[in-house]
Structure 1
């Protein structure tokens, strides 16, 4: 894995992929095509104005972003930024996993039960990718939750049994709450943004790279449409 050394020799910030800093990257990538005032960006990402300023400064110096005629921040090279972030991200090491077991033989039977569930959660990993772009069929369910108490409540609702390891339902306490930004509704259930799916799956074993490539295709199509729309305007 590439060493995270971005910014050491720059006047901006040392690590644009740190949890709080990456909130800004996520906002920019999820909303590709939009320009931002630094304070707007800080508010949207829920970080300090100072952090937003230094992250933006580093992004510009590295060629990932630029300033337009109104001095607003715009992404200049989203694909390179996305891949650089993903290459420095280890989903299975950065998060805390809580293992549970379901006797449901078909994963989708449990997934559909989440429709309308009034809890904060978001499917991620292979099951999230499968919901967005059915390609790699998952053998277990991964979902982000904000706390262990929420995991327990959902487990009780669906009669899931806790297990020390090897569960087929994994509640994930995220490395940062920013993972919930841009959550999308897919088939009535909540799934993390395509940006988060790609970043999480890029270095994930068990066909994660294959699944991430399908998500990337979707994003590239979306970005192309946004670029074309800007030209028309």
Structure 2
């Protein structure tokens, strides 16, 4: 990952919240980072022309900042647990949403599973979602009760649980009772994967301009 965790959080808040303006302290609180670290990252973004600092913080070049975020992000670098299921993604999306609601678990779909709910481009064959690291045992137990098991060959799995810190859920959306990461995060996940996923990201980008 080319981004520090602090910069990742700061950029996510700025992209999700634009055109909202922030004081430095408000931004640090939203990003859940130390005030001095937030100041360092904001100064870097200001020096490269992405943000204005006074009288309040605001994004100046949102499209460029989004692309920078996507180019610096790598979903493939995120730890994951891979499961195998005979069910199709459409069914898994409904099942996971139901299990999470019943058991008070945090999650958010991404990649083509998320795009399918926001800006459909290609039918997903694999279901991707972020979960809280601390809840991976709960998810594993619930999925096994539904005959979905950890794959012995991860490359053949079709249900991917991504383990990242909780700020990944910042700005998450609820679509048809399913939770999806914010549009900027969804774009970065898709764009960083190249190929068909990048094409889906570009479709999403067009939708984002009208939101």
Give the TM-score normalised by structure 2. 0.90
Asked if 1:109 is matched to 2:94, the reply is no
C-alpha separation in 1, matches of 2:146 and 2:60: 45
**For residues 2-22 of structure 1, what are the alpha-carbon distances to aligned partners after superposition, in whole Å with 9 as ceiling and x for unaligned?**
x96xxxxxxxxxxxx312221
Relative to total residues, which structure has the larger helix share, 1 or 2?
2
Aligned pairs, number? 203
Query: Which residue of 75, 78, 84 corresponds with 1:95?
Result: 78
Corresponding residue of 1:7: none
Q: What does 1:1-233 correspond to in 2, within 5 Å?
A: 17-68=3-54, 71-92=55-76, 94-104=77-87, 106-116=88-98, 117=101, 118-147=104-133, 148-164=136-152, 165=154, 166-174=156-164, 176-222=165-211
SS in 1 for 2:209: helix
What do the CA deviations read for 1:15-66 (whole angstroms, capped 9, x no partner)? xx31222101000100110110000110111001111111111111110001
SS for the counterpart of 1:142 is: strand
**CA-CA distance at 1:206 after TM superposition:** 4.9
CA RMSD between the two structures: 1.7
Flag structure 2 segments of 5+ consecutive residues without an equivalent.
none
Considering only CA atoms, is the larger Rg found in Structure 1 or Structure 2?
1
- TM-score normalised by length of structure 1: 0.82
8 A Cα contact 1:136 1:210, kept in partner = no
Deviations 1:40-96 (A, max 9, x none): 11011100111111111111111000134xx2100000110110121122211x211
